[in-house]
Each structure stands twice: as structure tokens, then as C-alpha cells.
Structure 1
Amino acid sequence: MVGTFGAVSSTHWLPSAAAMSVLEKGGNAFDAAAAAGFVLQVVEPHFNGLGGDVPIVSYSAATDSVQVVCGQGPTPQAATINHIESLGLRQIPGSGLLPAVVPGAFGAWMRMLSEHGTLPLSDILDYAIGYAEDGFPLLAGTADAIEVLAPLFTTEWMESGRVYLPNGRPPAAGSRFRNPALADTYKRLLREAAAASGGREAQLAAAEKAFYQGFVAEAIDSFVSATEVLDSTGRRHKGLLNGQDMADWRAGVESSVQLQYGDYTVHKPGPWSQSPVFLQQLALLDGFDLRGMRLGSADYIHTVAECAKLAFADREAWYGDPDHSDIPLDVLLGLEYSAERRSLVDAKASDTLRPGSPSGRRPHLPKQDPEELPPTASHWLAQIHNGLPTVVKATAARNDTCTIVVADRFGNMVVAVPSGGWLKSSPVVPGLGLSLGTRAQTMTLAEGHPNSFGPGRRPRTTLSPSLALKDGKPSLAFGTPGGDRQDQWTLEFFLAVADFGLDLQSATESLAFHTDHFAASFTPHESRPKALVVERNCDPDVIEELRGRGHDVELAAEFSLGKVCAVGLDHERGLLRAAASPRGRQPYAMCR
């Protein structure tokens, strides 16, 4: 898609339409992205929610700078390894209230809007309120999740049943679905904002206060402190999050982590997310002649996959909240270290996880010791035992999480990857219509690890938006759903553009693949050494060659891996571009 006024792409057509509508009203990319972000909370409740989190990377034309808004809320102050172990647990549960963290999405959007937005909050929230109150067509994936979890919602998570089981039954895919409790929460936030004296900024601050120090925080505090909730362990536990944890937090603004790759400077969030693993892969691949390999060839797939194994091994050993750990990021991205690691790439597939030793430091790989469910566990309990947002259907094509990217006529670009607070994560908080996020499940109970469970720490999130400058000018913003696989699928998209010259839409349609060689971020933290998942439309000769190199190749359905959304600025022609992956027949791009 090509235009001159605005470019939008997201993982759902309704948020894309809302974002373009905001641009038409005179809003900028920041306003449009926020409006789309709130609509995503309503129309993709199986992937994200108002109680979830979001990292945002943006380029501001006014300041000629890239910044990151960290909407990853931290763990509660009462979060300690001793507490989890005192409950007889070997891992942090993947659902329920124990893994709940401060919900960061609302604060992140408010922080971004206060610094860069232009429209009043009512113009931002009206779209989400409308869909929550008047209804929207329910996605098949949402309907599947509700149907599978209906026994849980009727026997244990009763408030979830009131929201997601209208008339006591699972709603059908394509039916018009409403969440009036969530609509009331948005409307009350607006009322609190409108009551504030002062202008637009004062109203945004009032809405944020109402969320983190007012009625939302009070409802969450009351529910979590008084309720034992069945979680992924098959047992009932109270949570640790309270109102003071929420009152003490505000979304942070920080500089991006960046790496030069050819003509591009790629910007990512810091190591509190997995984002730098994208840059580590680029640093490793920079020493190979990718352009001399055919896109989608066995040489290309093998090289990219083996570099991914090395980069993600470092993620496992070294990434965590840099406010609480010494993360050797400069070394991990350095030329000398990358050259040393690159030499480990062999003609055969590696079958071991090999983190590096930056500056001679010894890597720490936490041992995964999953909780076991009895063989008689009901189907829905087996589903929440896995901390992923999706209902697991024995498929490699898990496309959880959401993405929104926007570019405007002023030269601004925004990319956000919202997630958390999905309907499978924890029970709906009474009166709010939202679930809390369970991102603490990505942390380890190993003392001394950068991603150790502890008070006030940001869990290492998988959410990973990307923004790239070309020759110093904003060029690309992109993201995808996909948990641990995000920084593999978006890497393949970026390489198709940067090294092979594909246009944005063709790049979203190029062959996708990934390795599951390392431990998954979500409980029960499984890994599959040597596993290489490739879409079935891969050349059969390539598949055979990859197997000959030692990869355990698994074939996924054609066009099933990832949902890359992208926008671009073409400065030479004065054009805006947008693209959306055809996968899932759901992402939607538009330009005007």
C-alpha cells in the first residue's frame, strides 16, 4: 500500500481502521497508534487487554530522535523466590494471580500521548468504548479459547464467565460480542479525566491517576488480596500485587539500543525485553555473504537458524532488567565478541545451547523444572498449564500477541507490540472487565540470574517492536505476534528488505521459519533442540538438504508463521508505505 497522508498496519482490521480515522481527524501517528492499541484490547482479548503490557518504539520528527516507552510493569514488592518456594512450587505459574505484575499498557499509552500526542483523550478512547459497548465480530481464535475454557469460567473464574459467556454459553465465532464492564471502565477513566482542571495534559494525568491510584487500583487490590484463584498448578493461590505497587509505578522513557547493519540503524528496546537478540543476530549475520545466498535456500535458512541459536542462548544467560542486574550488552553487540561467536557456526546443525562468555564472565543458564499435572487433568486445566495466550492445538503456528504500526505525513513513526492481560491469563477483575497480565512467569527462581524473580523487577518480556533508520532518516517500523519467535520472523522480514531488496508487502509474504532450540519464555519453558519449523511451501529439495545438515525439520502450514505488520517512509519519493502479512487473513494495512 502506498500513500502520502498516512500509513497504518495492525493485526486486526478494526484497529487499523481506527488508527486511520484518527489521522483523518488531524491526529498524528502517536494519537493513531494509541487509539488502535485500545481497540486491540477489546477485539483481541485472547491476545491482550487493558491489564496487560506494551513496549513502544517511536521516531519523533519534531525532535529527530528515537525513544522507547517501557510499558512492562514490574513485579510486586512482595515478590520473592522464598515465597514461591514456600508454596511448594518449582516454577512461577503461567496463569492465575501469583505471576501478576503491574499492568503497564495504560500508563505507557498515557506517557506517549502526553509527550507526543495532540488530540484529547476522548478522541483516543471513543473507538474502544464503541466496540466494547456496542459490539464487534468475534474472532474464531477468541471463540475457540472461550469454548475450551468455559468449564473453568463456570466453576472457578466466575467473573470471567460473566464477561465471556453471555447467556451462560460460549459465543459463536463471528457473533457480535460486547464487554460492557470494560466499556464502563474506559468511560469512567474518561470522566475522571474530564473532571480535571487544566488542559489536555492535565486530563491525561488524571486518567493515569485514576488507573494507578484510583478506582482501577482499588478494585485490583481488593480482588487480589482477598481471593484465592485456581492457576496453572491445579491449586489455588492468592496473588502478591497490591494498590501500592501500582501507585509507585510510572511508565519509563528511555533511549533505544541500536546497531548499524549496512545502510540501516536498527533501534530496539533494552534487555528487559528479548529485543537485543534481534541485534545480536544481525551482528552475527553481518559476517556472512547473505546476498550471495538465494533467499530461502538451504544455506540461507541454515545460517540464519544457527545464528539465532547462538543469540538466543545469550538471551537465556544474560538478559534481564538492567536496573537490577549488570547486563554486558555493549560486549554482546561488539565486533570482537560477534566474530568469536560467529566462528561457532558450522556446516551441521548444533544440538546444544551455547551461551557466550562476554569479557570472560561465566554464563548462567537457569535449570527448568516444570510442575507436573496429573494424567487425569481436565482439558482446560492442561490448557492453562501452558502460559501462552493461545489455546494450544498441537500446531507450530502460534501467533499470539498483537502489533500496531503507524507513519504519518509529518514524518513520525510508531510501532507497538501489546500483549498480556489476555482472557486465559487470570480471572476478570470484578467490575473492571479486564484480566491481569502474568508476565512474571517468564522469570526464573534461580538466584543471581539477570531474570531472577524479585521485588520491583521487570520480567524479561518477549515483546519486541523494531524501528530502523536508513542513512539517518526514519525508514521502517515493524513487528509481529509470536512470543519467542518474534525476533526470528521479523528478522527474516527485515533481511528480505535490507539484503534482498524486496518491497514491504513481498517481504511479509516471504518464507517464514524458526528454531525452538532454546527454552520457551512461557511456562512450562520447554525447549526442542535442533527443531527447525519451516512453512510447507519451502522447496522440497531445500528441506531435504536441511535435514541432511542435521536439522529436525518440521513443516508448518503454508503462510502460517507470524503476522508481520510494517510501515515505511520513502523520502526520495515523498511516499508512505504499509504492508500486512496475509497469514491468518486478519492483519490489515491501509494508506491514504
Structure 2
Amino acid sequence: MRKYPLTLLLLYLPLLVFCQATQKPVLHGQHWMAITGKPLAATAGSMIFQQGGNAVDAACAMIAATSTMWDVLSWGGETQALIYNPKTKKVIGINALGVAPTGATPAFYKQKNMQYPPEYGPLSAVTPGTPGGIITMLAEYGTKSLKEVLAPAMELAKGYPIEGQTANSIQEYKKWITQWPYSKQVFFTHPDRARVAPDAGEIFRQQDLLATLQKLVDAEQAALKKGKSRKEALYAAYDRFYKGDIAQEFVRGCQEQGGLITLPDLANWKVHIEEPMMVTYKGIEVYKLSQWTQGPALLQALNILENFDLKGMGYNSTRYIHTVYQAMSMAFADRDFYYGDPYFPPEEPMKGLLSKAYAKERARTINQEQNDTMIGPGDPYPFEGGGKQNPYFNLLKTWGHTAVYKPDEPIHGLDDPFLQTFLSGTTSVEAADAEGWVVSVTPSGGWLPATIAGHTGVGMSQRMQSFVLDEKESPFNVMEPGKHPKVTLTPTLALKDGKPYLSFAVQGGDSQDQNLLQFFLNVVEFGMNVQEAVEAANFNSYQMYSSFGAHERKPGGLTLQQNTPFWTRKELKQLGYKIDYQERTSGPINAIYFDWQHGSFWGGSSNHGEDYGIGW
């Protein structure tokens, strides 16, 4: 065996490590790509593609499948999507987020001695949005019938081999689920033994949910038999869920268990088809949903970071991590204060927040010598135009003094309650086809331990907890009946030279746009391919407020990957960061890169969790 000097091996070690293959292979496809949070759900998308459906049809099938499989969401949750329409060459936003029900006021929750709405249970439920979101996407942009698209989900509801992750979560949340009779009936498949939850691989059946999905299909098919158009038939199914017998049972089951949702709440709710927000980064158009999500925070961070030579700093160098951390802190402080429901007054100052001039001003104030734990919201109103004045300028002086602030409590691994709440997961869906349709979705809500509404089989959303009850914390996100809460859910599309470039999303609560920002920079600044970029070592900040639970934050908190060099660790500690380490830090990112040179798709699915993709 030939021997080499130790110095030579040490010299080439970084190169050898860099050249190692990714843990998952790049997915390649010419005709279509389907990626989501569960292997069986990705298969559902592939089934629809193989039947001639477009990317919207396949995405809807994957949302339905993941909701049926309780991939940290269910049918009573919410769906938000970005769709690229190749016919108009425009990006469309889908807002299928539920709203606060009748009676959901700050006074109601304060009378119950709550600082925020609860994490779990009927009083955390907004109106369900996913059924309406799926049907609207199909009706407006799909090609298949609801019967065809729901077929995989209905087969799963009849019975599928449940994964260990979901089954173990049912057991973990036993004490919560025990409180809700309809949830017990579904989840406790072995009520007479210590492990009441299903075993991994056990065939898990949901007869009530199957009946609900069948009612939707029946409504569609009955309308078609009456001579209604495809779109009219789809909306007949929509009406049955929100105004018919499904709505009646949902409301009965919700109110029986102490929830607030009424029949008028369901009947009056609607899906919004919106124009998304966009900024350019080095000529690339990056699209996010508007300020009812945290998505514009990524756009704000890109605007700030465009003022720095990130590539010159080096991937995950001390200076790079510090600069990106500070930019994120500024963008997320603005998120925490200024974002809210655009359909309710007051109007959010999004023009100013997304202006390049405002970003340049924010970039100028970054302290390069120390982490600034006192970074707060800026004042975008001078950048709005028209002489607008900040109506909440006085609140800026005291911002950060009302919500939970725990700067000195260390994070103790993935089992830390704060971290579990901060990183609350859901799933993501990415789909693309040869015709040019592209869909990026971050559906969520109704995660375990879900309260199931009566005999619908539908788990109710827990999104109410993302509201605040005091305007001092977030004046644009104070709870009000009929209002959308500000959510963390945030799909992304990027266009280059007028054509799709990247479609990407991730689960993980308040870490989502942190991981997506770094993924994007991995590709654009450091030339990684899509699979390298979804697996690459990211870092996470906890300086922004959590959108869940007690809305805590940990200024200076920083998670690094375990293999971070000791000198980088040392330098970051000298800059004032409180560091913990994890084996994998990318988050479960799913992404598609569009290779226009070769006419193909490159799919990436992180090695972080159960996410999986199929291409053809």
C-alpha cells in the first residue's frame, strides 16, 4: 500500500471532505418532479402525474395525502401556496389560512388568565383552510377531478402502515389526546394496553375521515351529473364542507369540546388568490407570500445582505455567520412588530419594509464587532412615500419588554421544550411539470395532539396561538374575530431571466425562513447544487420571538452543526453568541432547480427527516 506524508493528507483533507457525495442523491427528472414530507405522499403525487395531471393536481394530491397521514398536519389545518402559471408567466399566491372564530377576542382569553391562546385544544382552533385551499387550487389551475386527486388520500384513509415517527407522537401526547373523545377514538387503536398508540407498520384506519372525503367526492360527482362544469362541481364540494352537513358536524363537534367556531364562521370564510411579494437579489426575482406569513422577512434579509460581499467572506465563516445573523435579526424584528393580516386595518408598511433604501440603512447599522441583542424593529415609514407617519412610533421605545425574554437560559438539545416549540414542524410540497407549472406549498395545522371535530375525522388547527393579545407586542397581529393570524408558513419561488429558477420550502416553525435564506445563498453565492444546498450545514438564531407557545426568545442563541471548526466556535463566542450544537442543522428542505440548459429538473430533499421525492 502506498503511503503519503501526513502533511499532504492534512492539506487535501478539506478538499476530500468537500467532494464527498451527499447522503441522498440528486433527483433528476425530465417530465415532472414530486417532493414532500412522506414517501407515500410523494408516491401519491407521482400517481397523479402518471395519470396525466399537471403540477397543481399532483401538489393537491400530496397535500391531501400528507394531511391524511398526520405528517404534523391534518385536514383541518391551513394551506398556503405559490404557483407559477406558465400561460401568464406570473406567480400567484394562495391564502387558505383560517381565521379567528366568533367570540375569539383578547378579553375572552385574558379572562381565562391566558397570556396567549393555548398551544393545543379547541380554543387554539382557527377555521379549517386546507379543504378550501385544495379545491380552489384544483378549480382554478388544475386539470383533474376531485375524485381523481383524492383517490390516493382516500386509499390511505382506508388503512395504511403508519410510520414509527407518527405512531410514537401519538403515544407521546397520550395525556393531551385523552381529553378529547373523538381523537381518542381515532388515535388509541389499543386502548387496553400501556401503549395505546398504533405500532410502527400497523395498518392505521380512519373511517370518519374516509366518509368525509367521500362526501366531498359525492358532491362533485352529483353536480357533474346535473350538467355542471368541472369548476362548478369542484365548488359544490367546497360548499358541502363549509356550508353543508360536513360543516354542521364539524361545528357540533368543535363546540361540544369547548371550541368557538360557528356555522357562519365557516360559511363566511374564503380562500384569497393574491399577488405575492417580490424583491430582486443580484437580478434573481424571489417571491414570497405577503405579510400574513413571515415570508417577507426572507426578502428583507436578502435586501440587507445584498450590501455585503458574502461570497468573499466564505461559506459559514465567522464573518459570514455573524453578518447573516444580524441581517436576520433585523428582518425578524420587523416581522415581529409590523406583519399581520392585510385584510384588516391598520395597513402594514410593506413598501417601506421591502425598499432597497430601507435595507441599506439597516445594513449600515450592523455592528461587526459584537452580536447586538437589542436589535429591534426599524421605522420603515420614511421609506413608504407620501409623508406617512408611523402610528406606533411610541411602541417602538418599549418593544421587547412585554413578551417572554429568556436570554440566559441555555438550550439543551432537541428535547428542550423551547426548541421543540420554536421549531414546530409541518410539511412542504414541491411539484413541477414539463408544461411549466410550478407549485411550492407549506401546508400545516391540526398537528398532533390534534382535537378531532366530531365524526368528521378532521383535526382542528392550532394556529390561534400565533396571535398576540397586546398591541405592545405586535400591533398588526392582535386577535380579532374573522382575522388571519400571522403564520410562519412560507413557500418560495425564484425566477431568473423570466423563467423558474428555484422552488423551495421547509418545515420548522420560526426557523423556516432562516433555513430557506441560507439554502438560497448556498446555491447563488456558493454554487452548490440543489441536493448539496439542502443538506449543507446551516445555523439557527433564536433572537426573534417564537410564534408559538409562550412566544419566548433567546437573544444571542445560536445553533451550529457539530463539525463547525473550533476557531469559528471560539470567534463566535467572542462576538457574544451563546452556542449549542446539533448533528444536522439544514432543516427538512425540499427544492427543485430548473436546468434550462438541459431541459430537466434537479430535485433536492434534505437528509433531515422523512422527506422524499420522485422524478420522471
Q: Structure 2-normalised TM-score?
A: 0.87
| Aligned pairs for 1:197-216 within 5 A | 197=226, 198-216=228-246
| Deviation for aligned residue 1:588 | 1.0
Residue 522, structure 1, aligned to residue 548, structure 2: yes
Stretch of structure 1 that moved more, 244-253 or 214-223: 214-223
| Deviation for aligned residue 1:438 | 1.7
C-alpha separation between the residues in 2 aligned to 1:442 and 1:367?
A: 18
Residue 224, structure 1, aligned to residue 247, structure 2: no
Given that residues 46 and 141 in structure 1 are in contact (C-alpha distance below 8 angstroms), is that contact kept between their aligned partners in structure 2?
no
Given that residues 407 and 568 in structure 1 are in contact (C-alpha distance below 8 angstroms), is that contact kept between their aligned partners in structure 2?
no
Change in 2 beyond 3 A, CA 1:336/1:393: closer
Stretch of structure 1 that moved more, 412-421 or 346-355: 346-355
Residue 443, structure 1, aligned to residue 470, structure 2: no
C-alpha separation between the residues in 2 aligned to 1:300 and 1:84?
A: 43
Whichever residue aligns with residue 98 of structure 1, its letter is L
Whichever residue aligns with residue 244 of structure 1, its letter is P
Q: 1:153 aligns with which of 162, 177, 182?
A: 177
Q: 1:350 aligns with which of 356, 372, 375?
A: 372
The residue aligned with 1:142 is 166
- Tell me the alpha carbon deviations over residues 368-426 of structure 1, each in whole angstroms, 9 at most, x when there is no partner: 567xxxxxxxxxxxxxxxxxxx995976994611000001010110000011011324x
C-alpha separation between the residues in 2 aligned to 1:248 and 1:393?
A: 36
The secondary structure found in structure 2 opposite 1:98 is: helix
Stretch of structure 1 that moved more, 125-134 or 189-198: 189-198
Q: 1:570 aligns with which of 556, 571, 595?
A: 595
| Deviation for aligned residue 1:144 | 2.4
Change in 2 beyond 3 A, CA 1:502/1:399: farther
Change in 2 beyond 3 A, CA 1:366/1:456: farther
C-alpha separation between the residues in 2 aligned to 1:10 and 1:349?
A: 36
CA RMSD of aligned residues (A): 1.9
| Aligned pairs for 1:121-520 within 5 A | 121-136=146-161, 138-154=162-178, 156-168=179-191, 169-196=196-223, 197=226, 198-227=228-257, 238-324=258-344, 325-347=346-368, 348-359=370-381, 361=390, 362=393, 364=396, 365=399, 368=402, 392=417, 398=423, 400-425=425-450, 427-447=451-471, 449-520=475-546
Given that residues 46 and 424 in structure 1 are in contact (C-alpha distance below 8 angstroms), is that contact kept between their aligned partners in structure 2?
no
Stretch of structure 1 that moved more, 145-154 or 323-332: 145-154
| Deviation for aligned residue 1:509 | 1.2
Change in 2 beyond 3 A, CA 1:560/1:343: closer
- Tell me the alpha carbon deviations over residues 106-162 of structure 1, each in whole angstroms, 9 at most, x when there is no partner: 1111111111100111110000011111223x23332222112223333x2121111
| Deviation for aligned residue 1:225 | 2.8
C-alpha separation between the residues in 2 aligned to 1:334 and 1:369?
A: 28
Residue 11, structure 1, aligned to residue 37, structure 2: yes
Whichever residue aligns with residue 191 of structure 1, its letter is D
Q: 2:557 aligns with which of 507, 531, 534?
A: 531
Given that residues 71 and 427 in structure 2 are in contact (C-alpha distance below 8 angstroms), is that contact kept between their aligned partners in structure 1?
no
The residue aligned with 1:60 is 85
Stretch of structure 1 that moved more, 483-492 or 86-95: 86-95
C-alpha separation between the residues in 2 aligned to 1:73 and 1:454?
A: 12
C-alpha separation between the residues in 2 aligned to 1:393 and 1:311?
A: 21
| Deviation for aligned residue 1:345 | 1.5
The secondary structure found in structure 2 opposite 1:428 is: coil
| Deviation for aligned residue 1:176 | 2.7
| Deviation for aligned residue 1:76 | 1.5
The secondary structure found in structure 1 opposite 2:124 is: coil
The secondary structure found in structure 2 opposite 1:431 is: helix
- Tell me the alpha carbon deviations over residues 79-112 of structure 1, each in whole angstroms, 9 at most, x when there is no partner: 2222222333222112212221111111111111
Given that residues 125 and 462 in structure 2 are in contact (C-alpha distance below 8 angstroms), is that contact kept between their aligned partners in structure 1?
yes
The residue aligned with 1:540 is 566
| Deviation for aligned residue 1:539 | 2.3
The secondary structure found in structure 1 opposite 2:190 is: helix
Change in 2 beyond 3 A, CA 1:164/1:407: same
- Tell me the alpha carbon deviations over residues 525-563 of structure 1, each in whole angstroms, 9 at most, x when there is no partner: 11111001112122232222211211111111x225410
The secondary structure found in structure 2 opposite 1:16 is: helix
Change in 2 beyond 3 A, CA 1:172/1:391: farther
Given that residues 11 and 404 in structure 1 are in contact (C-alpha distance below 8 angstroms), is that contact kept between their aligned partners in structure 2?
yes
C-alpha separation between the residues in 1 aligned to 2:285 and 2:99?
A: 29
Whichever residue aligns with residue 210 of structure 2, its letter is A
Whichever residue aligns with residue 492 of structure 2, its letter is S
Given that residues 57 and 68 in structure 1 are in contact (C-alpha distance below 8 angstroms), is that contact kept between their aligned partners in structure 2?
yes
Q: Give the number of the structure whose alpha-carbon radius of gyration is greater.
A: 2
| Deviation for aligned residue 1:180 | 2.0
Whichever residue aligns with residue 258 of structure 1, its letter is M
C-alpha separation between the residues in 1 aligned to 2:190 and 2:418?
A: 27
C-alpha separation between the residues in 1 aligned to 2:220 and 2:436?
A: 29
The secondary structure found in structure 2 opposite 1:461 is: coil
Given that residues 584 and 608 in structure 2 are in contact (C-alpha distance below 8 angstroms), is that contact kept between their aligned partners in structure 1?
yes
The residue aligned with 1:105 is 130
The residue aligned with 2:114 is 89
The secondary structure found in structure 1 opposite 2:495 is: strand
C-alpha separation between the residues in 2 aligned to 1:245 and 1:406?
A: 32
The residue aligned with 1:30 is 56
Change in 2 beyond 3 A, CA 1:46/1:38: closer
Change in 2 beyond 3 A, CA 1:499/1:131: same
| Deviation for aligned residue 1:436 | 0.8
Identity of aligned residues (%): 31
The secondary structure found in structure 1 opposite 2:278 is: strand
The secondary structure found in structure 1 opposite 2:273 is: strand
Whichever residue aligns with residue 217 of structure 2, its letter is L
C-alpha separation between the residues in 2 aligned to 1:393 and 1:280?
A: 26
Whichever residue aligns with residue 45 of structure 2, its letter is A
C-alpha separation between the residues in 1 aligned to 2:52 and 2:362?
A: 49
Given that residues 397 and 560 in structure 1 are in contact (C-alpha distance below 8 angstroms), is that contact kept between their aligned partners in structure 2?
no
Whichever residue aligns with residue 83 of structure 2, its letter is S
| Deviation for aligned residue 1:46 | 5.3
Whichever residue aligns with residue 497 of structure 1, its letter is V
Given that residues 254 and 454 in structure 2 are in contact (C-alpha distance below 8 angstroms), is that contact kept between their aligned partners in structure 1?
no
| Deviation for aligned residue 1:446 | 1.3
C-alpha separation between the residues in 2 aligned to 1:218 and 1:423?
A: 23
Whichever residue aligns with residue 429 of structure 1, its letter is A
Stretch of structure 1 that moved more, 433-442 or 81-90: 81-90
Given that residues 422 and 546 in structure 2 are in contact (C-alpha distance below 8 angstroms), is that contact kept between their aligned partners in structure 1?
no
